[in-house]
Amino acid sequence: MQKTLHTKPFYYIRHGQTDWNIIHRLQGHTDVPLNATGIAQAYSAAEAIRGIEIATICASPLSRALDTAKILQKALGAEIEILDDLKECCFGEYEGQTGHNWMPDWEAGHFTPKGAESYQDFIDRSTAAINQALTRPGPVLIVAHGGIYWAVTEHAKYEKGTTLPNCTLVLNTPPSQDEPFWRQKLVR
């Protein structure tokens, strides 16, 4: 698998809020729908990004991300391409749980819940999915999950440990001759 991100600028937005987000329940592959707030967030994001040039929207197949993408599509007019590997991490037997005290050991590679992806396997899958999206006509908007963005954070050397809030749009710009580091710009 590709170990680094393609050096191409792209937009990224995490899906709107779900009921499980409110109580910090791990969603993983569980297909939890947007709640009323999440739907409103997606419509608000659509109004805020109307006019931004987007050629392709790549989305996770999980309804919380795909429904967000469909709402954004109405404002942007771009086609949606569903990429299965943009799904959130599979947390195995810990999916649906609210306790996350095991995550530092998981990220360090010392522990993986039964039936879950290892942290490194997840980062590798996420990186490959983002790179696959970046082969599409750009500018590309990726609509996915907080966990998928961990791969961006890791490769771009952004501050670790922060979660991308629901329906927050960021522009990620790769290093250049004038700017030696990835840059993250909050668009909305």
- SS3 assignment, position 128: helix
Residue with the two structure tokens 């590679």: 109
Q: Are 169 and 12 in contact (CB under 8 A)?
A: yes
Does the annotation mark 93 as catalytic? no
**DSSP-derived pairing of the beta strands 56-59 and 79-82:** parallel
Distances in Å between the alpha carbon of 138 and those of 43, 49, 77, 78, 128? 23, 16, 13, 10, 17
Name the active-site residue from 15, 107, 145, 155.
Answer: 15
Give the start-end residues of each E strand in the chain: 10-14, 56-59, 79-82, 140-144, 169-173, 183-186
Residues in the chain: 188
Dihedral of the alpha carbons of 17, 86, 115, 20, in degrees to the nearest 10: 0
Does the annotation mark 81 as catalytic? no
Name the active-site residue from 29, 47, 81, 88.
Answer: 88
Active site residues: 15, 88
